[in-house]
Every structure is written in C-alpha cells, then in structure tokens.
C-alpha cells in the first residue's frame, strides 16, 4: 500500500501515541512468570507485541484482550513446553529476551521468525547464555535463527558486554532469575533500563552498582498490574515533524520520558529546536510526561557518540531533522543500525538521496548536508521506523511512502494520526 502525503503547511494539536513497545514486551513476559492475575494497562497492540503475547500463550500463560488492555494469568516461574515452533515474527526484542527466559526452563523450544529476523545477529545472546549452561543450537553455529533451546541447569556468570545492548543485558538478566549463584552484567555504556525497572516493579532480585547489574535466582512472585507509558520512539517522529513543518505547534501527551531513552531531545535542543518537556508522574517506575514541539530553524552539528545508545531507535527520526537543518550533521557510532529490521544506515542514506539530500554513509557513520529537501518517493525496506521517518522528512514538500503498512509494526494508526494533525 502506497501512502501519498501532499505538501503540509502546518501541524497543530495534541496527540497520545501508542504504548511503549519495550515496556509491553517486558510486562507481558514478567506477568507470564508471576503467580496470579494482573492487568497490563495501555500496552502496544501491534505486530511485534502481539507476537510476544502469542508466544507466551504457547508457553502456558493466559493472555486475554480487555479493550485497550491485556488481562494475564501467569503460570509461575515454570513455563510449559510449547507444542510448536514459537514464531517471533519481526520482533528482535522478543527473540532475544525469550531466549534468555527459556534458557532457564526445563523445556525444549524452537524460536523462528520472518526473513528479516532470521538475518539478524543472535550470537550476541547465545554466547553468554551458553556460558551459563544453556544448550542452544542455530544456523551458523547459533549466530542466526531458527534457534533450538533446551534449557535448565544454569549457573550465574560475570559477563562484560562487548557491545552496549539492552536486549543482551535483558536476556542475561532473565536467565539469571533461574541460575545458581549471582549473575552479573557489565555495560560498556548505559542502555535503556526498562528491564531493571520492571524487575523492581515485580520485586525481583536486582542490584545496580554503576555500570554493573546483578541478579540471582528468584522466588515465586505475585502478579501486579502495570501501566505502559506512551512510546517515546513513536513520539519522536511527531516531534521532528513539528520542528520541520512551518507554523506547527504540537503537544505529545502521556509519553514515556525514561532518561535512558531521551537522548534525541538533548540533540534536537542543541540543534536549536523550540522544544520543551516535563515529567508529570511515574518517577519511581517509568517516568511519564509531555513534550511540546514548535517550528524551528535547526542547525547541523556533530552528535556526541556517547548519546547514541540513548537514542539508537531514534536515529531515523534524527536523520529527518538533519535533512532540514542548515549545515552539516555528523552522526557517529552507528554500527548497530546495520543489524536492525533493515540495514538502517543504508536505508537512511538511500531515502535521503531519493529526496535530494546530500549524504555520505560510512561503515558506522552518516554525514548529512541539510536544507535542500525535495518531494519524492521513499522506500521503507520492510522497516517500520524507516517508513515513518521518511514520511516525516517529506512532509513539507510532499512525499509518497511505498509499502506504508510497515509502520503498523509499532504504530498502527501512524498515517491516520498524521493526517488528523495537518493544517
């Protein structure tokens, strides 16, 4: 399905974006491990998280739709052996975290997914899980899915991650809930801490000492309700849309403002964005608040590489902003973009070229010379964030987005919401 967006003169109004994908994945998994029934309020109900819900049903949890929410009855710390292959769809978070969860279970399970997911690197989780004693096989020695896991009999390890990755950290911590002795993970740089916050919410073992996170074997724990905030990564596209579209004034409400996710706001502010935000609730769990963005004259800059792990999913949105900024924007430390749902670094460069924006792409960097965006046709490359980023990038001039349905992976109403805000 192609989506044609005519030149847009302004964006005005207020919007509440769908629930956070990362928190939804973790909320579903930990509720499935709990004893008793709970409600997951305002989760994301889209491709990736629906795959998580279905996989957990196959593992014995009861997960029922309740309007905007999920009602979940957990099975305790022991999941059931699934009767069939667990289909992770397009969800890398699901496959990596579920590998950690199943490593500690006395079951046999096979994890697979779509063609894109079967190309994504899994060795980064199978390596530490094997060190803990999990038996995992897969293509190319366990580096690619499908993955066959026979869990149980884990021992804790001290694992220093070679690459900053919240998914790797989370997989090891989930496995650590079933391991003898302590499990420690050391991060080379801070990454999103949704797993740590979820562990605290459910009363699971957790100690944090600087860049070291420690857990240990968990006792049975009771189910607890969890409220999912709006997804910052989804809100980011509308923030950038308001900044680059003339005469725009847009407020995003109920957005998760976890400081391990909001590096983009810092960078946009440094680029001269007229942007403000505030936390209004949830400081002890997932902080939630509002973001207001208004039309701005942006300036190019060189992004601090230390901020990249705090905004890795927002790089496509930043590239859209950089296309409209005066001067040059240099974005380093992007090797991780090569192994996302698409090769995002190449996808960004190709679509900027399609819109007439001068761009250079290295192995792990982008250099964008902004200020000269044309109308055109953009391709999502089977990637939801690329589809949304370049719909936004072409807003002021008009754009056609090929295969726009890929946005539904994380934001089912994205294009309809965008239409509703156009002046």
pLDDT of the residue at 372: 87
Catalytic residue among 20, 193, 313, 383, which?
Answer: 313
Residue owning tokens 């935000």:
277
Q: In what order do the strands lie in the sheet with 144-150?
A: 86-87, 108-112, 144-150, 135-138
Give per-residue pLDDT as tens, 175-201.
Answer: 999 999 999 999 999 999 999 999 999
First vs last C-alpha separation in the chain: 24
Q: List the one residue out of 231, 210, 250, 390 whose CA is nearest residue 315.
A: 390
Q: How confident is the model at residue 405 (pLDDT cuts 50, 70, 90)?
A: very high
Query: 3-state secondary structure string, the chain?
Result: CCEEECCCCCEEEEEECCECHHHHHHHHHHHHHCECEEEEECCCCCHHHHHHHHHHHHCCCEEEEECCEEEEECCCCCCCCCCCCEECCCCHHHHHHHHHHHHCCCCEEEEECCCCHHHCCCHHHHHHHHHCCCEEEEHHHHCEEEEEEECCCCECCEEECCCCCHHHHHHHHHHHCCCECCEEEECCCCCCCHHHHHHHHHCCCCEEECCEEEECCCCCCECCCEECCECHHHHHHHHHHHHHCCCCEEEEEEEECCCCCCHHHHHHHHCCCEEEEEEEECCCCCCEEEEEEECCCCECCECCHHHHHHCHHHHHHHHHHHHHCEEEEEECCCHHHHHCCCCHHHHHHHHHHHCCCCEEECCCCEEEEECCCCCEEECCCCCHHHHHHHHHHCCCCCEEECCHHHHHHCCCCHHHHHHHHEC
Cis peptide before 201 (omega within 30 of 0): no
Instruction: Give the β-pairing of 12-16 and 249-256.
Output: parallel
Q: What average pLDDT score do residues 100-124 get?
A: 96
Q: What are the sequence ranges of the domains in the chain?
A: 3-19+229-421, 21-207
Phi, psi of 167 (to 5 degrees): -70, -40
Q: Can you name the CATH fold of 21-207?
A: UDP-n-acetylglucosamine1-carboxyvinyl-transferase; Chain (3.65.10)
Would the pLDDT of 284 be above 80? no
Mean of per-residue pLDDT scores for the chain: 96
Sequence-distant (≥ 6) Cβ neighbours of residue 292 within 8 angstroms: 249, 250, 251, 252, 275, 276, 277
The token duo for 70 is: 């999920």
The token duo for 217 is: 């074997």
pLDDT of the residue at 92: 95
Tell me, yes or no, if the two domains 3-19+229-421 and 21-207 fold the same way: yes
Phi, psi of 253 (to 5 degrees): -110, 150
Give per-residue pLDDT as tens, 27-74.
Answer: 999 999 999 999 999 999 999 999 999 999 999 999 999 999 999 999
Give per-residue pLDDT as tens, 207-238.
Answer: 999 999 999 999 999 999 999 999 999 999 99
262/422 Cα distance (integer angstroms): 25
Helix orientation angle between 92-103 and 47-58, rounded to the nearest 10 degrees: 20
Q: What is the CATH number of domain 3-19+229-421?
A: 3.65.10.10
Would the pLDDT of 158 be above 80? yes
pLDDT of the residue at 285: 85
Burial zone of 22 (CB within 10 Å; 0-12 exposed, 13-18 middle, 19+ buried): buried
Phi, psi of 59 (to 5 degrees): -95, 5
Would the pLDDT of 423 be above 80? no
With a pLDDT cut of 90, the percent of the chain lying above it is 96
pLDDT of the residue at 282: 82
The token duo for 254 is: 């109920």
The token duo for 145 is: 């899915």
pLDDT of the residue at 283: 62
249 as an active site residue: the answer is no
Task: Quote the pTM value.
Answer: 0.94
Phi, psi of 322 (to 5 degrees): -65, -30
155/81 Cα distance (integer angstroms): 21
Q: What average pLDDT score do residues 400-412 get?
A: 95
With a pLDDT cut of 70, the percent of the chain lying above it is 99
Q: List the one residue out of 14, 15, 21 whose CA is nearest residue 42.
A: 21
Give per-residue pLDDT as tens, 337-390.
Answer: 998 989 999 999 999 999 999 999 999 999 999 988 999 999 999 999 999 999
301/323 Cα distance (integer angstroms): 12
């Amino acid at each position: 399905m192609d989506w044609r967006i005519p030149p847009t003169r302004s964006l005005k109004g207020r919007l509440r974006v769908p629930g956070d994908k990362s928190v939804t994945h973790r909320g579903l998994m930990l509720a499935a491990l709990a004893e008793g029934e709970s409600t997951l309020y305002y989760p994301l109900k889209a491709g990736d998280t629906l795959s998580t819900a279905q996989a957990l049903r196959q593992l014995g949890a009861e997960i029922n739709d309740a309007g905007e929410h999920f009602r979940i009855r957990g099975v305790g710390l022991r999941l059931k052996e699934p009767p069939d292959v667990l289909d992770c769809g397009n969800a890398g978070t699901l496959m990596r975290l579920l590998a950690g969860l199943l490593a500690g279970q006395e079951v046999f399970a096979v994890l697979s997914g779509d063609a894109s997911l079967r190309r994504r690197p899994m060795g980064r989780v199978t390596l530490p899980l094997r060190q803990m004693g999990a038996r995992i096989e897969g293509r190319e020695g366990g580096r690619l899915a499908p993955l066959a896991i026979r869990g149980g009999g884990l021992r804790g390890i001290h694992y220093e991650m070679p690459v900053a990755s919240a998914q790797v950290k989370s997989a090891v911590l989930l496995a650590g809930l079933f391991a003898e002795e302590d499990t420690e993970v050391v991060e080379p740089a801070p990454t999103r801490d949704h797993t740590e916050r979820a562990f605290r919410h459910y009363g699971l073992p957790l100690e944090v000492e600087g860049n070291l996170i420690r857990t240990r074997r968990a006792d049975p724990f009771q189910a607890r309700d969890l409220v999912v905030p709006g997804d910052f990564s989804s809100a980011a596209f509308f923030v950038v849309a308001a900044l680059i579209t003339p005469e725009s004034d847009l407020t995003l409400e109920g957005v998760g403002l976890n400081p391990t996710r909001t590096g983009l706001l810092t960078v946009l502010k440094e680029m001269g964005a007229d942007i403000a935000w505030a936390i209004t609730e949830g400081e002890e769990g997932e902080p939630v608040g509002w973001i207001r963005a208004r039309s701005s004259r942006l300036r190019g800059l060189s992004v601090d590489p230390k901020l990249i792990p705090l905004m890795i999913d927002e790089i496509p949105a930043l590239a859209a902003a950089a296309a409209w900024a005066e001067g040059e924007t240099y974005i380093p430390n992007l090797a991780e973009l090569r192994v996302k749902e698409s090769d995002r670094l190449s996808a960004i460069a190709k679509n900027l070229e399609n819109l007439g924006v001068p761009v250079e792409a290295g192995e792990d960097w982008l250099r964008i010379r902004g200020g000269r965006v044309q109308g055109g046709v953009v391709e999502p490359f089977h990637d939801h964030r690329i589809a949304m980023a370049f719909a936004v990038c072409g807003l002021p001039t008009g754009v056609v987005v090929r295969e726009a349905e890929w946005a539904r992976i994380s934001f089912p109403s994205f294009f309809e919401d965008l239409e509703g805000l156009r002046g």
